[in-house]
Homo-oligomer: A and B are copies of this chain.
Amino acid sequence: MTITAGIVGGTGYTGVELLRLLAGHPQVALQVITSRAQAGVPVSTIYPNLRGHIDLAFSEPDTEALAACDVVFFATPNGTAMEMAPALIDRGVRVIDLGADFRIRDLSVWSDWYGMAHSCPALAAEAVYGLPEQGRDAIRRARLVANPGCYPTAVQLGFLPLLEAGLVDTGQLVADAKSGASGAGRQPRQHTLLCEAGENFHAYGASGHRHLPEIRQGLEAAAGHPVGLTFVPHLIPMIRGIHATLYGRLLDPSVDLQAVYAARFADEPFVDVLPPGSHPETRSVRGSNMVRIAVHRPEGGDMALVLAVEDNLVKGAAGQALQNLNLMFGLPETLGLQGIAVLP
């Protein structure tokens, strides 16, 4: 079986990573990739690493061409997928949106954070949040998957075992998160120039970041009730990788955190719980779809400390999208996603 795929908006970092992964997937054939700005330009002109692997050129967005695919990925700025996806879904195409259009259930919250009205409430209600570790079955049946954000993936996976088992005081969770600059995209902007972001470190969005409501929604689903979360993202002077440092006060400090995490993720192909005492490195997942997690209880006290790393472009974006595709089409979940992290 070959699944035919299309990509809308593939010139950014999420797009090139999706192309790299699709080129190595044995059962997906990329048929079309659109970009208004680059229409007519071979993909490999913009991304020379794909020379010899991807022969397509970018094309103008064309609903007919996209509708002929089994699945279409949206790697577009927020607001695009909600305009284009309905017509495709009506024609039987399954859609995976790597943007934020369908991630938030409460559309008034969505509008507050994304600064526009939602044009497609019905599909938003139907969309399935694509975090396989939290809801694999629903993804299998979904027509429309909202692929999670990069920070939300790491933070939710790190907190899930604590919240699902009711182990921490959910009133005062802290997620101190750090990301490489590729999370900010390929659009030229001053603050992500090498001379601005290199040899430098700072927080941003301390008063509120768009990933906060998405994370909170997921944590509340896991906990079964509202949670109090402080989320502070920081920019690391590097390209790929997210490190989430998570703090939660244990209700019962005698719990065996290592055992809880090992059990929770025992069957998960893309979550690796490290041995006690570990400090996961972002490079250990660079280019791969793995999340690696370590748990600590500093000085044996009542604070649970969770360290989680992912590649923001893979498990935090394109890899997870492909994992969702595998689920949606009944393929082995790990197909095309077994690449080993490139280290050093």
A residues in contact (CB < 8 Å) with B: 13, 16, 20, 23-24, 47-53, 172, 174, 176, 178, 180-182, 186, 188-190, 192-204, 206-208, 228, 230-232, 234, 236-241, 243, 245, 247, 249, 272, 274, 277, 279-288, 290, 292, 294, 296, 298-299, 301, 303, 305, 307, 309, 338-344
Contact = CB atoms under 8 A, between A and B. Distances in A.
A47 B201 contact: no
B342 A178 contact: no
B279 A204 contact: yes
Contacts of A274: 48
A194 B298 contact: no
Contact of A298 (B20, B230, B286, B294): B230
Contacts of A294: 206
Contacts of A197: 194
Given A194-B192, A305-B206, A240 B281 contact: no
Contacts of A16: 343-344
Given A24-B340, A207-B298, A236-B236, 13 more contacts: A48-B280, A51-B272, A176-B176, A180-B195, A181-B193, A181-B195, A182-B195, A199-B199, A201-B281, A202-B279, A203-B307, A230-B301, A286-B342
Nearest to A53: B340
Contact of A193 (B24, B188, B201, B286): B188
Given A176-B245, A202-B243, A232 B344 contact: no
